[in-house]
Structure 1
Amino acid sequence: MVSIGRYIRNIRRSGVKKWMRDMMYIGDAKYGQCVGQDQFGNKYYENLNPEDELPGRHRWVDFAQHDFNATQVPAEWHSWLHHIRHQPPPQDTVMQNLSPPWKGPWVENLTGTRGAYKPYNTAAAKINPWAPKVAPRNST
């Protein structure tokens, strides 16, 4: 529920600068407790006060980059944001002890950018394009 009282209350709690940034980036005035930060600088917040936030909208991420997308959220934080895990990753003992040896460094999805994966073909072409042969003219 969006109301003038909620906006004024959040301005008082967080300050005008943070309130303006939230309105510009996420389009909503939010205030909550910072529960952690990932390796990319994204901050994760939670507000459990039922009069401040609607159910299901009480966990959110504040992206570090201006140009952001959902693939910039690591899997462990994604599971907390979507209520798959109850505790955030810094406080969850299962997530702290879970580090498989095959897990490499996390990389965001680069589709549509210059860093996107582009396969190359090592097989010979089945159809060769026609290339005209140019013969010099006789000038007499």
Structure 2
Amino acid sequence: MVSLLRTIRSMRRVGLREWFRQMQYIGDAKSGRFVGMDEFGNRYFENMNAEEEIPGRHRWVDYAQHEYNGTQVPPTWHSWLSHIRLDPPTEDPIVQNVTPHWKAPHVENLTGTRGAFKTYNTTVPKINAWEPKVTPRGTSSL
């Protein structure tokens, strides 16, 4: 009964369309404070109401892409989602001041896709396959 009330409360807060989208993507109806957005368009939320959320599940990400995976979350946001950092990157002065400008931008892991890194093999094989030497018919060496 508690989860049904929580679901109805969340549906009222976020609206029917967003509630339906959440049920399709994360399988749960959640409502909370919008914390920030990363460079990929992922949105991050937090709900500190202890009556509604299970401890440890009060922070979540709403992915921008339909086909998503965990590597699309930048390291700074991942540390906030996993409770390594108390404040989100948008509010944490340490993250905003210490992040070096020379650092390469975060790229998701493309393993298993067309964009995956594949090395070009330049080594000579140690074992060569047998190739038969055939003389053409009609020409005999006798």
Distance across 1 between alignment mates of 2:5 and 2:123: 67
Root-mean-square deviation (CA), in Å? 1.7
Could you list the structure 1 runs, at least 4 aligned residues long, displaced by more than 4 angstroms after superposition. Answer: none
Q: How many residues align?
A: 139
Distance across 1 between alignment mates of 2:118 and 2:62: 31
Distance across 1 between alignment mates of 2:131 and 2:98: 58
Runs of 5+ unmatched residues, structure 2: none
Letter matched to residue 44 of structure 1: Y
Runs of 5+ unmatched residues, structure 1: none
| TM-score normalised by the chain length of structure 1 | 0.91
Cα distance, 1:133 vs structure 2: 3.3
Counterpart in the other structure of 1:7: 7
Q: Which has the larger radius of gyration?
A: 2
Counterpart in the other structure of 2:60: 60
How many percent identity over aligned positions?
Answer: 63
Cα distance, 1:63 vs structure 2: 0.3
| TM-score normalised by the chain length of structure 2 | 0.90
Rate the CA distance shift 1:86–1:37 in 2: closer, same or farther, 3 A: same
Counterpart in the other structure of 1:86: 86
Cα distance, 1:52 vs structure 2: 1.5
Distance across 1 between alignment mates of 2:102 and 2:92: 21
Cα distance, 1:55 vs structure 2: 1.0
Cα distance, 1:17 vs structure 2: 0.2
Letter matched to residue 74 of structure 1: P
The within-5 A match list for 1:1-140 is 3-100=3-100, 103-138=103-138
Classify the secondary structure of the residue corresponding to 2:21.
helix
Cα distance, 1:122 vs structure 2: 2.0
Distance across 2 between alignment mates of 1:2 and 1:59: 20
